[in-house]
Amino acid sequence: MSPAIFDSHAHFDDSQWPPATLVADLGRIQGLAGAVSAGFGPERFAASRAVCRAVRKVRRAVGLHPWWLAAHDQTQREAGWQAVVAELDGADSDTIVAIGELGVDKNRKHLMDADQQMRWMTLALHQAKRRNLPIVLHIVGWHGHALDALRAVSPRWRGVVHRFSGSPELIPRYTDLGLHVALALEPRLDVSKRQVVARAVPADRLLLETDWPFLDLDYPQAVQELRLMAAQIADARGEDLSSLIATNNANCRQVYGLGLVNE
Ligand SMILES: [Zn+2]
């Protein structure tokens, strides 16, 4: 059996999967080294916080996801941001390891233009720098805008471009800033395209993620799928599965600043 795998990005705050169910599911998974639950919006912080409190190998990020921002008005966005800051200053802040998701999404441009999206992204970037926390980036299309926003704040970042969906040529533009690149379980993604991207990411910058939930998979099943995806990627890179998983786990710990616990 290959070593336990770290899931760099999931959402343990979806209303469909209450914390008690998830904690039970996490308890019965074999072969999960740890996971980070990414932030979406303030009404979901409590669920993620509860899972982190119950399962020590799960940590979380807090932020306003570009989809959440696009779905709310300006007053709600400002209140949402206050809730992010309150969470970062709150009693359970020791479970927070990153700021995010944050970023830009071209598919939401009918709801929020690029300037507005970049303004919220920049606010979150400054917060991450101020607190010395890594960032969890959600970038769909608009890579030029995202890179401009990153560079305008700092030439150097710790964090991950989650669920990377760009072309392989974009990878060095992110890794040059210090960022990692994560490949996600994507049922609709063309596997051959993912293999090309998987070969283009340097070993010290590669992360794997479920980006769970899915409608038809519970979390233990998603972790099984993640292991299968890891095997495909190891194949594409000409590595063995155990060493790819070890690389992923070490990279996850480095990005999120985690110690060696619970393996
Ligand atoms: Zn996500």
Closest by CA position to 259, among listed 90, 56, 99, 1 = 56
Structural domain contains residue 214: yes
How many structural domains does the chain have? 1
Average the pLDDT over 131-137 and give the result: 98
Contact 159, 139 (CB under 8 A): no
Tell me the pTM. 0.96
Structural domain contains residue 262: no
| CA 247–ligand 1 middle distance (angstroms) | 21
Structural domain contains residue 19: yes
| CA 211–ligand 1 middle distance (angstroms) | 5
Residue 194 vs residue 254, higher pLDDT:
254
* DSSP track, 54-76: H-TTEEEEE---HHHHHTS-HHH
Domain of 250, CATH number, reads 3.20.20.140
Q: What is the pLDDT of residues 3-50, one digit of tens each?
A: 899 999 999 999 999 999 999 999 999 899 999 999 999 999 999 999
Structural domain contains residue 138: yes
| CA 68–ligand 1 middle distance (angstroms) | 12
Average the pLDDT over 154-173 and give the result: 96
| CA 37–ligand 1 middle distance (angstroms) | 8
Contacts of 189 (CB under 8 A, 6+ apart): none
Structural domain contains residue 106: yes
Structural domain contains residue 261: no
Structural domain contains residue 85: yes
Q: How confident is the model at residue 263 (pLDDT cuts 50, 70, 90)?
A: very low
Structural domain contains residue 57: yes
| CA 214–ligand 1 middle distance (angstroms) | 11
What residue type is assigned to position 164 of the chain?
F
Q: Which residue range forms the structural domain that includes residue 231?
A: 5-256
| CA 105–ligand 1 middle distance (angstroms) | 13
Q: How confident is the model at residue 194 (pLDDT cuts 50, 70, 90)?
A: confident
Average pLDDT for the chain: 95
